[in-house]
A = this chain, B = another copy of it.
Amino acid sequence: MLTLDQARTIIATARATGREKGMKPLSVVVLDAGGHVLAFEREDGAPVGRFGIAQGKAYGAVMIGVPSRKLGEMYAERPHFIGALGGVYDGKVVPVAGGVLLRDKATGAIVGAVGITGDTSDNDALAGVAGAEAAGLVGEG
């Protein structure tokens, strides 16, 4: 089980990583293993609609069991499949890097996902992986 303290550590570290590397304002959500929101922060200066994008990256990852970067690669090969997932999961799938699976270090089990949006999607994912590691988890981004 992911705790709120872990979620807060993930968000704090992702944000610190963004500041350190000069990224644009980040929005960071942490979802639990069932895809339910545990914590979220949107940095000042980010567009107002960022919650949905961050959630969509992380939610798709949890539902389908792969990082959102992989969903983007799958979209290139099979747009009809990945496109349809938006309907299946009520619009909450954003198949772009930045949705990082959170795995337990010992068992490898998925315990949730962090979704980040604000900078390039590669940088978003990088910040998410840093957050995962700070919380003692493996981040698969």
Contact = CB atoms under 8 A, between A and B. Distances in A.
B42 A41 contact: no
A20 interface: no
B82 A80 contact: yes
- One complex includes copies of this chain to the number of 4
Nearest to A72: B80
Contacts of A46: 65
A4 B32 CA distance: 21
A33 B48 contact: yes
A4 B12 CA distance: 13
Given A3-B44, A36-B49, A84 B84 contact: no
Given A78-B96, A92-B88, A95-B84, A39 B40 contact: yes
Interface of A: 3-4, 7-8, 32-44, 46-49, 51-53, 55-56, 62-65, 72, 75-76, 78-96, 110
